[in-house]
Amino acid sequence: MSLLGGLLVWVALGTCAAVVQPPLLPDRSAIVQLFEWTFKEIEEECKNFLGPYGFAGVQTSPINEYIVINPSRPWYERYQPISYKIISRSGNEDEFKKMVETCNKVGVRIFVDVVFNHMSGDAPNARGTGGSPADPKNKYYPAVPYNKSHFHSTCSIESYQNAHEVRNCELVGLRDLDQSQFYVREKIIEYLNHLIDLGVGGFRVDAVKHMWPADVQYIYSKVKSLSTVHGFKAGTKPYIYQEVIDLGGEGIKATEYTDFGSVVDFVYSREVGKAFGGRNQLKWLRSYGTSWGILPSEKSLAFIDNHDNQRDGGEDILSYKRPREYKMANAFMLSWPHGTKRIMSSYDFTERDQGPPHNKDNSIAPVIRKPDMSCGGGWICEHRWRQIYNMVGFNNAVKGTVVKNFWDNGNNQIAYCRGNKGFIAFNGENSNMDVLLQTCLPAGTYCDVISGSRQGNGRCSGKSIIVDSSGMGKINIPRDGEDGVLAIHLNVRV
């Protein structure tokens, strides 16, 4: 009996210790990846948009010094570090610091994309964004400093079945750091702790599949708690979500990393993309959860697309290029209680390697913000699409509730409630949806947050939905409407 009791306590403690709640404001829960944005633009966005609209955080692109690839300046240069100095196309350390302070003040946390699996690949006369020289051929990065002795010997990854190769050889020729060495670990920990001193809330860690679990676990264990100077509660651990691409069939599993951090859930992205892209019936989403092969909610960084799979993910991945399906997929993610949710914010691209919109001198071009909230100047700003930012509001409004009254028509029309706080319906069919459904909401008139918004004067600029005293509402989503989704919640009663 006492043995069993001890066992139970041990299991319970083990589970608690492993779960890190993201350090987000209690009433907020969606992070936006502002891909390639400058610190000045992110600061402005926190103040005037993300804070007021209830976003919980921003994921930046890598901010440390990385190799300059002339003349094209592709986006992937950011994933080839030269040093851990904070200087990039997004700005310098002073600008970063100011941005973090401003964003924290309006309740928006900063999550930095950190790259420490490797350094830059081979390039003659390599220079970093801060002007530091490097000799990648000889694995010499004096601005850290790292030399040859800090790297694995050169070999290429021939088979993703072979965990040893995946973790010890070079990912596309990028010099592969040996994180088992004390010196290398120290340099990485120093960088992460510096970011914590500057007030960040956590990290998205790049290429984690290519590092040994024990090494990254050690590094995380030496990272400080978040800064109380920047408003975090004493003892709060950074939120760490790791890029471990595991779509099945490889030698390395995402679950090798979930005991000490969250993982970016690529299966989530694929399965939701498949359903709303017309390759799986929406009715099956009734059971969307771990039985689909996605990670448990508290370990999952849920997303529809990111900068990699919007380029290379194939036909299962939805992006801004298929806006109708994409908005539906995001609405599903933001209304389904699973994972920490990340929204993508892209720039327009026609070629895979194309870098961000830029000026003649290669500095990043300004984000043009239009009166209708959308963006110009080559920036897509999915997070500023009404159908997406209003669903961030929905997500916040229904927090803590469960899915109730899941309804489907046997095919691609579905609807469900979130407790007694919200209701959403999707029409993924080539026919009209016109049904009387239980909304679980108190009687009243509600403003559909997809077709419009509740205005300051209490009016609705979109469809109004009348809910009767038994909670029933007439739900109409025409097949040729701008959007195939409708959503209402308690905060948009008119």
Ligand X SMILES: *[C@@H]1O[C@H](CO)[C@@H](O)[C@H](O)[C@H]1NC(C)=O
Distance CA 23, CA 17 (A): 15
Two tokens, residue 323: 């806006």
Neighbouring C-alpha atoms within 13 Å toward the C-beta of 2: 0
Q: Considering beta carbons, is residue 141 or 446 the nearer one to ligand X?
A: 141
What residue is closest to ligand X based on CB?
Answer: 147
Q: State the minimum distance, in angstroms, from the CB of residue 146 to ligand X.
A: 8
Q: Considering beta carbons, is residue 148 or 222 the nearer one to ligand X?
A: 148
Q: State the minimum distance, in angstroms, from the CB of residue 11 to ligand X.
A: 42
Two tokens, residue 441: 């909401």
* Angle at 369 (CA atoms; ends 365, 375), nearest 5 degrees: 80
Nearest to 194 by CA among 99, 91, 64, 61: 64
Find out whether 441 and 448 touch, Cβ atoms under 8 Å. no
Q: Considering beta carbons, is residue 132 or 319 the nearer one to ligand X?
A: 132
Q: Considering beta carbons, is residue 184 or 205 the nearer one to ligand X?
A: 184
Q: State the minimum distance, in angstroms, from the CB of residue 152 to ligand X.
A: 15
Q: Under the rule (CB under 6 A), what is the footprint of ligand X?
A: 147-149, 183
Q: State the minimum distance, in angstroms, from the CB of residue 145 to ligand X.
A: 6
Per residue in 127-137, is it b (16+ CB within 10 Å) or e — as a string?
A: ebbbebebbbe
Find out whether 246 and 300 touch, Cβ atoms under 8 Å. no
Distance CA 330, CA 317 (A): 12
Type of residue numbered 67: I
* Active-site residue (options: 243, 246, 271, 305): 243
Q: Considering beta carbons, is residue 147 or 287 the nearer one to ligand X?
A: 147
End-to-end CA distance of the chain: 58
Distance CA 61, CA 346 (A): 12
Q: State the minimum distance, in angstroms, from the CB of residue 187 to ligand X.
A: 10
Q: Considering beta carbons, is residue 182 or 458 the nearer one to ligand X?
A: 182
Burial of 494 (0-12, 13-18, 19+ CB in 10 A): middle
- Note if 298 is an active site residue: no
- Note if 382 is an active site residue: no
H/E segment holding residue 331: helix 323-335
Neighbouring C-alpha atoms within 13 Å toward the C-beta of 65: 19
Q: State the minimum distance, in angstroms, from the CB of residue 119 to ligand X.
A: 14
Distance CA 134, CA 126 (A): 5
* Active-site residue (options: 206, 265, 305, 382): 206
Provide the annotated active-site residues. Answer: 206, 243
